[in-house]
Amino acid sequence: MAEPELAVETLIARTALGDRGAFQTLYRATAPRLFGLALLVVRRRDWAEDVMQEAFLAFWRRASDFRPERGSGLGWMATIVRNRAIDRLRREPRVAGEPDREAPDPAPDALSRLVQSDEARRLAGCLGELDEQPRRAIALAFYEGLSHSELAARVGAPLGTVKSWIRRGLMRLKACFEQTEGGR
């Protein structure tokens, strides 16, 4: 296929109309990023593959739900992949103490790579304004799919403390976000 590279959003629009070729191109263009994300969250190759299969079936069936005015195509897809990955973890929690295999870099480093889009830079700026503990808790939750109780075990703090870090952190994040954007 000598087609010029098409925007992810265009490929989603064509997928919504049932165009298989566009769907395959969409897969090729996005699969490495999305697989990396799934792997980061579930930390098992076989689970990450299941998550990808479920997510791509959802993209095929629900591509017409995508609204470009509400964000980027890749962002929409990544959110769905992450949600599926979390669902998977909540259905079948990781065995405690099980070593992380196959997983790419751990969460805290990931934040430093957040420089790609304007949106990402803005979010990174807001995360940077949080205290160390809430920031770390949010990053661990996001990238490793940890629940409240798993987080508490990981950082060795009481459950109530971890919950309040998360709540406080998220609400401050929102305030910062709305300040820089004027709200939405």
Partner 1 sequence: MTIRDEDEREQLAAEYALGTLEGAEREAFARAIVADAGLAARVEFWSRLLAPLTEAAPAVDPPAALWNRIEAALTRPAAPTPATAGWWSSLVFWRPVGVVGALAALALALYLGLALPAAPTHVAVLNAEGSRQAVVVTLNAASGALTVRPLAPFAAPGDLELWIVPEAGAPPRSLGLIAADAAVARKVAAERLRGVGAGAALAVSLEPKGGSPTGLPTGPVLCSGPLLALAQP
Which is nearer to partner 1, 16 or 130 (by Cβ)? 16
Say if CB 11 and CB 59 are below 8 A apart: no
Which is nearer to partner 1, 132 or 184 (by Cβ)? 184
Q: Give the nearest distance from C-beta 143 to partner 1 in angstroms.
A: 7
Q: Give the nearest distance from C-beta 94 to partner 1 in angstroms.
A: 12
Say if CB 6 and CB 39 are below 8 A apart: no
Which is nearer to partner 1, 111 or 157 (by Cβ)? 111
Q: Which long-range contacts (CB under 8 A, 24 or more apart) does 41-48 make?
A: 41/82, 41/85, 41/86, 41/89, 41/143, 41/144, 41/145, 42/85, 42/88, 42/89, 42/145, 43/94, 43/100, 43/101, 43/102, 43/103, 43/144, 44/101, 44/102, 45/101, 45/102, 47/85, 47/88, 48/85
Say if CB 163 and CB 137 are below 8 A apart: no
User: Cα torsion at 155, 133, 87, 101 (round to 10°)?
Assistant: -50
Q: Give the nearest distance from C-beta 90 to partner 1 in angstroms.
A: 6
Which is nearer to partner 1, 99 or 183 (by Cβ)? 183
Which is nearer to partner 1, 14 or 136 (by Cβ)? 14
> What single-letter amino acid sits at 69?
E
Q: Give the nearest distance from C-beta 5 to partner 1 in angstroms.
A: 13
Place of tokens 């309040």: 164
